[in-house]
Amino acid sequence: MKDLMTETAADRVPIDPLAEVGACRSFVSGDPDDDRIRVQYFLRRSDKALVGEVWFGPGAEGPPGHAHGGSIAAVLDEAMGVAAWLAGYTAVAAQLTTNFRRMIALGTTAFFDTAVGEVAGRKVAMRARLLDEQGDALAEAGGLFVVLDPRRLEELARLR
């Protein structure tokens, strides 16, 4: 995974990945004016990796004055899932592991990046990390995502 702190705005193209993968709403990043979590997604020009910025507001509070661990995990989960879909893997999470390195103060804007790891049949290994403005790790996540059978995907689309 590249060094997020050396990127410039020209290195990143703003995208709406949820629209690109056919999602109509998001548990995590649906409302740009929300007081909980605000996420902006970008596609890095050099390697087409999904990267972004996330702001944790007062509605995401867990420990006093800090973001709830579930809000942090949810951001990393969504980022990994969207990155998998953008890479052509219509997959859902089967297993997630989040390592919390430091508490995140409310009002903080953090930066994330994602990477597709090993792919074996329907199994897709994903990684994501959340960094502060100095490039220090706030949280890291790994996930095992499983590609949906096309019939199951069609069934889910009909149910929506």
Which positions are annotated as active-site residues?
Answer: 77
Of 77, 83, 69, 81, nearest to 1 by C-alpha is: 83
Give the C-alpha separation, 130 to 137, whole Å.
6
With the C-alpha atoms ordered 119, 123, 124, 129, is the resulting torsion angle positive or negative?
negative
Give the C-alpha separation, 86 to 97, whole Å.
21
DSSP bridge partners of 123: 120, 146
